[in-house]
Amino acid sequence: VHCYPSGCLDLQVVPAGTYVPHTQCHPLTGQCECQRNASGYWAGEHCNTCEAGYFGVRCDQPCACSGHGACGWLDGLCTCFRDDLNGYWAGPACSVCVGGYLEPTCRAANVAISRAAEAPAITLDPGADLAGVVVNDPITRLVYTGGSPLMVFNTTANTNIARIPLGGTVKGGCVMADLVYLLVQASTAPGNGTGTGTLSLVTLTRGSNPTIYHRAPASPQPQAQQWRRRQMWVQAE
């Protein structure tokens, strides 16, 4: 089956039967379709816009947005993705993370981890569990520490916004989109805040009203190593 691109007509525009440029014939069906070759990569209902990933008057120049953004049709300037699905990207070529997010996906927030014993002032609580860690989320300006209960502080207002009983000690954490993941080691004795028992992965909602979203057992070494390879998990050594 054969067709001639010059014979491709667009019956949906006025006047009817107007020739549509930038078309080609499908090699098997013979149907007219938008041109997609080295001479130009076209898309759209009328083949008059560039296919995603290309720009220029002839739509023949590849975008230099590293696959993490869209580029302007004529100038090729990148508009980087900044959402939970595609990640938070920045730079002329959308090749680096927005400040506060971690490579390689730019979806995980860069939380700072410090030992509670080394930073007792940040907890605003002299009785806080010093055997755990302080998880600092700089984007929401919240810190998480303790576990029996978990104390959540707003560092801007210097106020305690939540006390959540977790039955152990926070040993590590990370932030992904709108959730906070905490590695919690259970207490072995009632009333003892020091975690020496089994590990669990506790997921909290992120923001000014944190609540427990999910809780599941966690294998300490494989879990920590796997997440560390992805640069999504930080744990105090």
pLDDT at 90: 95
With contact defined as beta carbons under 8 Å apart, do 182 and 170 qualify? Answer: yes
Peptide bond into 126 cis (omega under 30): no
Query: What's the pLDDT score for residue 219?
Result: 58
**pLDDT per residue as tens digits for the range 45-64:** 878 889 989 999 999 999 99
- Tell me which residue of 129, 98, 126, 103 sits closest to 116, measured CA to CA: 129
Question: What is the average per-residue pLDDT within 7-24?
Answer: 57
End-to-end CA distance of the chain: 67
Confidence at residue 68, expressed as pLDDT on a 0 to 100 scale: 94
Residue 178 in tokens: 């709108």
The per-residue pLDDT for 14 is: 38
pLDDT tens digits for range 177-187: 888 998 888 87
Comparing 79 with 17, the larger pLDDT belongs to 79
Query: What are the tens digits of pLDDT across the range 149-199?
Result: 888 888 888 888 999 988 888 888 888 888 899 888 887 655 444 556 788
pLDDT of 66 reads: 93
Contacts of 146 (CB under 8 A, 6+ apart): 116, 123, 125, 128, 129, 132, 166, 169, 170, 193
* Per-residue buried b or exposed e for 173-198, using 16+ beta carbons within 10 Å of the residue's own CB: bbbbeeebbbbbbbbeeeeebbbebe
Tokens matching residue 118: 């080394």
Identify the DSSP state of 116: G
Q: How confident is the model at residue 138 (pLDDT cuts 50, 70, 90)?
A: confident
- So what's the pLDDT on residue 44? 85
pLDDT at 47: 84
- The pLDDT of residue 6 is 59
Report how far residue 223's alpha carbon sits from residue 227's, in angstroms, rounded to the nearest whole number: 6
| pLDDT, position 131 | 66
Tokens of 218: 């966690």
Beta strand ranges found along 95-194 (DSSP E): 96-97, 101-102, 108-109, 112-115, 133-137, 142-146, 150-154, 159-164, 168-176, 179-187
- Is residue 74 packed enough to be buried (19+ CB in 10 Å), middle (13-18) or exposed (0-12)? exposed
Distances (CA, A) of 181 to 58, 77, 191, 197, 226: 48, 36, 24, 18, 14
166 versus 4: the higher-pLDDT residue is 166
**Per-residue confidence band for 75, with pLDDT thresholds at 50, 70 and 90:** very high
Please give the Cα distance from 236 to 215 (Å, whole number): 21
